[in-house]
Amino acid sequence: MGKRYVTLNDVALLANVSVATASYVLNGRKKSRISAETAERVLDAAEKLSYRPNVNARLLKGKASSTIGLIIPSMQNYFYPELTEGITNRANELGYNIALFNTNDDLSKEKHAFDTLQNLRVSGIIVASIANSSEEELKLFHNVEESGIPVVCVDRYYQGQEIPNVSIDQRRASYEMTKQLIQDGHKKIAVILHRDMHQQMVDRRMGFEDAMKESKEEVAWEIFWVDTTTFTELDATIDTVLNAEKAFTGIYCACGDFIAVEIIHKLKRGGIRIPDDICVAGFDGLSLGEIVSPSLSTVVQPIYGLGYEAMTLLQKRIVKESISQLTIRLPYSIAIRESTKTLIG
């Protein structure tokens, strides 16, 4: 910067005290031991020079960093801004600031984010972007934890208690949404899943299949895979669904509302009436789903709350507060709106 920042020494010089004293005054520590006049002189000097403590120097002296890392896939899917909002607001309340990283679900970018965050010596990391759940990726997580930086996953997660995480019971939610579709009388359902099978997708799929098993094969179904970031295959998928010999009566877009809304949009453009020609259900609970026409039937997750609680949990881990539950499951609800209807009667 060419420009030299004002240092504590500058302040001390102007106030005619030692840096030690200046430091004590400015940090409000050992108040008793500093005379009022001295304190005032230091404060004045700092004010006059617009002194700003160098956080990096403080960190070097072993102070804990007040920044935490946040790793998300991108801001394209409106799920993430809302999640981020919950995280940053809570971080703010707790006195942390955020270092933000986008990975685009690319493992090498995720690796880079972890690297940078470790070099920064952040106090903790929240991850909403698990690229592919590979062994290699899991090792990344363990490395970070081993280095002493606590990690919390939100939305996506690893199976079991491996990494603390906050989410909803995705399998159960998916089961309930599917049950609803079955009760509505659907006889052939297309399920849309994310091509990269995160544990999350595995669970949603299992929830779906749980419900299907209960229906005793009265309902036919087929899985379609899409790439949620590039939207590749989406048009092809829609075509296949529409042109199936035995007609699909419903589309369960288990990979999320963002794609569900896109599907509704494309369907409408193609002159297909929803829910009359075909029903569409989503998963997420984006506010977008309420605004769109027809409004979207979906699993409503407390997205903001997921972020908020993830940050709360991370903070507890940072300050080593004892934690009874490392896996937090928040409540959700099934919202039946205009994009689905009962086919019976």
Residues of the shown chain interacting with a copy of itself in the complex, contacts defined by CB under 8 A: 1-3, 5, 50, 52-57, 59-60, 64, 67, 70, 74-76, 78, 80-82, 84-85, 88-89, 92, 97-102, 109, 115-116, 118-121, 123, 143, 147-149, 261-262, 265, 268, 288, 290-293
Residue 48 binding: pick among a copy of itself, DNA, none (C-beta 5-8 Å cut-off by kind): none
Q: Tell me how far apart the alpha carbons of residues 185 and 179 are, in angstroms, rounded to a whole number.
A: 10
CB 161, min distance to a copy of itself, A: 21
The alpha carbon of 224 is separated from its chain's Cα centroid by a whole number of angstroms, namely: 24
CB 171, min distance to a copy of itself, A: 29
- By the rule CB under 7 A, 50 interacts with DNA: no
Q: Tell me how far apart the alpha carbons of residues 125 and 99 are, in angstroms, rounded to a whole number.
A: 9
The residue (of 2 and 345) whose beta carbon lies closer to a copy of itself is 2
- Of positions 62, 95, 148, 345, contacts DNA by CB under 7 A: 62
* 225-to-63, 96, 162, 190, 234 alpha-carbon distances in Å: 48, 39, 27, 10, 9
Q: Tell me how far apart the alpha carbons of residues 127 and 154 are, in angstroms, rounded to a whole number.
A: 6
Strand partners for 193: 225
Strand partners for 189: 221, 250
Sign of CA dihedral 306, 312, 315, 316: negative
Token pair 């120097």: residue:
57
- Of positions 40, 44, 47, 57, contacts DNA by CB under 7 A: 57
CB 295, min distance to a copy of itself, A: 10
- By the rule CB under 7 A, 21 interacts with DNA: yes
Q: Residue 253 carries which side chain, given as an amino acid letter?
A: C
Residues of the shown chain interacting with DNA in the complex, contacts defined by CB under 7 A = 4-9, 16-21, 23-24, 26-27, 29-30, 32-35, 37-39, 51-54, 57-58, 60-63
